[in-house]
Amino acid sequence: MGDDRQGRVDARRSGGQGIAELIDSLIHIIWPTACPICGRLGKLACEECMETLVGLNEAFCMACGQPVPCAAHPGGPECRAATEYFGACRDVVHVMKYENGRSLARNMGVIMGRRLPRPRADFLVPVPLHAGSEREYNQAEVIAEGASSVWGIPVRPVLRWDADVERQALRSSGGGRQLPAGAMAVNRAVAARSAVLLIDDVFTTGSTLAAASDALRKVGAEVKGAAVWSRGGR
C-alpha cells in the first residue's frame, strides 16, 4: 500500500512538471525566448541557473577595481560583485537589458541580497539610466528593489545624469567612459549624513560609481560602497 501511495505522489509530481513544461512551451510560442544558460523554453533565465553563476563576493576598490586594501585609495569605499561579466553571465545581462527583462533584473537583486553581505546602509541608491536612454525601465533600480526585499533596506532613486555634461564627456573622450565632476546630480532631498550603498548591474572602470559618489557626497550623504551583479573590465 505504501509503494502504491508513493507511486501516486510521484505521478502527480511528474504530471505537474509536465504541465509546467507545456506552459513554458506555449509561452515560448507567443513570446519566443529561452534561458541562455540551460536553453529552457519560455524563460528569460531560470533562477536556479542564475544561482550557479554566483561565485564572487570579495571586496575590491570602488574607485579603481584593485584588491583591498587599495594603496591608491586607502580607506575608500569598497564594491562587491556577485558574478564575473563573461560567458553565460554576460548573456544573462544582455537579456536583462535588451529583452525587457524586468523580472530578471529583480531576480538578480534577490540573489545578490542572498549571497552578498548585508550592508550597513540607510538606503540603496541605484545608478540612473543614461540621459536619452530608450530602455523602458532602469535595470539598476529594479536590481536594487530585489536586494531590498532581502536586506530590508529601502531604495532611493535620487540620482540623475546631467545630459549636457554627459554629452560633452562622451564627445571629448571619443565615446569612452571618462566622466567629469558634475556628470550626475541629486534630484531629490537626501538627509545629511545618510549612509547609502550604490547599486548597478555591471562594474567596469568605476567611473560611473565615482560620478554617483561625487553627487551624493555634495549633499552630505556618506557613500558606504557599492554592490553590483557582475564585474568586468579585468
Q: Grid cell 557582475 — which residue?
A: 230
Ranked by mean pLDDT, the top range of 54-63, 75-84, 166-175 is: 75-84
Give the list of residues 6+ apart from residue 157 with CB closer than 8 angstroms, or none. 125, 126, 128, 138, 141, 144
Give the pLDDT band (50/70/90) at residue 19: low
Q: Read off the pTM.
A: 0.82
d(C-alpha 1, C-alpha 77), whole Å: 63
Residue 69 DSSP one-character state = S
pLDDT surpassing 60 at residue 196: yes
Give the pLDDT band (50/70/90) at residue 13: very low
d(C-alpha 92, C-alpha 145), whole Å: 18
Residue 186 DSSP one-character state = E
Q: How many C-alpha atoms does 227 have within 13 Å on its Cβ side?
A: 30
pLDDT surpassing 90 at residue 33: no
Give the pLDDT band (50/70/90) at residue 171: low
Three-class SS state of 126: strand
CB atoms closer than 10 angstroms to residue 3: 6
Question: Which of these ranges, 17-31, 34-48, 136-150, 194-208, has the smallest mean pLDDT?
Answer: 17-31
Give the pLDDT band (50/70/90) at residue 198: very high
